[in-house]
Amino acid sequence: MFGTLLAFFAGSVAYFVVNSLLVSMVVGLSTGKAVLPVWQRNSLWILGYDIAASTMALAAAWLYLQFDDGLSRLYFLLFLAPIVGAKHLYARLNHVQHLYDELDHAHDKLELALREQLEMMVKSIEARDPYTSGHSRRVAALSKAIASDLGINGDVLAEIENAALLHDVGKIHAEFAPLLQKEGRLTQEEWEIMKTHATKSAELVGLFSRFQGHVRSCVQSHHERWDGKGYPHGVVGEAIPLGARIIMISDTIDAMTTDRPYRKALTFERVVTELQKYRGSQFDPGVVDVTVNSVTVRRLVSDRAFLAEQTTTRSLALGRVRPALRSQSSFFDAVRVAARDGE
Ligand SMILES: [Fe+2]
């Protein structure tokens, strides 16, 4: 009995290895790739399933031998019925999986289109204000670093990063163009116009359905102060969205640490002094404490190469993972594996 099982097992292994190697050879020859890597990638990982599934054939043969007259030997067909059913289910699941893959692909294309639209908007504003070139990306990178250090992650982190990237997007409106390019200080009247950019930015951001909630409110409030003396609504303390409080600090850090027409970039130490000076009045004290102690923020400010690395298009958190589709895929993967075992 043991000898029979061993022989069967050896036969199964030999069959699947030779079969999959021959298929890999054909694939390799037709695609110009080495046979062994093709075999490893496509066949090696499922070899275990195939060999395990072959025990079903052994069970069917055993059942066939349990009956000695002609007609009752056909009982083993009853054993095959669920296997045929599992095979059918497996084919259906493959089809559904394929549909989900197509949805994922369509989602990826939409993400790319959205990313390109946002890139265009950010670049349009920066083209109007040459002194702040790269400002939005740097504020996005700094906000992400501060938010991470505050323990924020997942979709909320991505939303804060997106809000930071788009915080000044309303400056694309024509009325801001002369103000952005003005050399001297703004008059009171001009300053009042400039202050409307927070609301204008929020309106534009709200045109994207996925940004209408949290992202929009962070953009709307990015000039609100902790003590309620900010704009546009004079919101106080924790009533200001946390993302907006983070962006307010990141915005200040970037403004201080980049060259301006009227002064050179300041050091991070000067920034720390400034943040601590206005801790509890302009800035959220908790966010200030995290920011001044953040290794990543310090590195972003002092290491331009690192900053550039953190602000490439790829790093922008515009492509949210599709949780529903991904979890469905995992489910179907699991069922498929189970179905394979039953083949
Ligand atoms: Fe702003």
Whole-number Å distance between alpha carbons of 333 and 23: 24
Quick one: pLDDT at residue 131? 62
What residues does each domain of the chain span?
Answer: 1-66, 104-324
Q: What is the pLDDT of residue 148?
A: 94
Note the pLDDT of residue 336: 45
Distance in angstroms (rounded) separating the CA atoms of residues 188 and 73 = 98
**196: CA distance to ligand 1 center in Å?**
9
Question: How far is residue 191's CA from residue 189's CA, in Å, rounded to a whole number?
Answer: 5
Is residue 32 within 8 A of residue 38, CB to CB? The reply is no
Q: Ligand 1 centroid to 310 CA: how many Å?
A: 21
Query: What number of other Cβ atoms are within 10 A of residue 144's Cβ?
Result: 27
My answer on whether omega of the bond before 232 falls inside 30° of 0, hence cis, is yes
Ligand 1 centroid to Cα of residue 198, in Å, is 6
Label residue 300 exposed, middle or buried (CB < 10 Å: 0-12, 13-18, 19+): buried
Query: How many angstroms is it from 298 CA to the middle of ligand 1?
Result: 22
Ligand 1 center to 44 CA (angstroms): 56
Q: The domain 104-324 belongs to what CATH superfamily?
A: Hypothetical protein af1432 (1.10.3210.10)
Distance 210 CA to ligand 1 centre (A): 21
Ligand 1 centroid from CA 163, angstroms: 11
Ligand 1 mean position to 68 CA, how many Å?
87
Which pLDDT does position 313 carry in this prediction?
Answer: 44
Whole-prediction pTM: 0.62
> What's the chain's length in residues?
343
- Report CA(236)–ligand 1 centroid distance (Å): 18
| pLDDT value for 330 | 41
**DSSP class per residue in 297-319:** HHHHHH-HHHHHHHTSGGGSTT-
* Dist. CA 222 → ligand 1 center (Å): 7
pLDDT at 133: 65
| Dist. CA 112 → ligand 1 center (Å) | 26
CA of 273 to the centre of ligand 1 (A): 22
User: How confident is the model at residue 11, as a pLDDT?
Assistant: 86
One digit per residue, the tens of pLDDT, for the chain of length 343 reads: 778 788 888 888 888 888 888 988 988 888 888 888 888 877 777 777 777 777 777 777 787 777 777 667 777 777 777 778 887 888 888 888 888 889 988 988 887 887 788 778 788 777 776 666 688 888 999 999 999 999 999 889 999 999 998 898 888 888 888 888 777 788 899 999 999 999 999 998 888 888 889 999 999 999 999 999 999 999 999 999 999 999 999 999 998 888 776 778 888 888 999 999 999 999 999 999 999 999 999 888 887 665 655 554 444 455 444 444 443 344 444 444 444 443 3
Which among 244, 225, 245 is positioned nearest to 236, based on CA atoms? 225
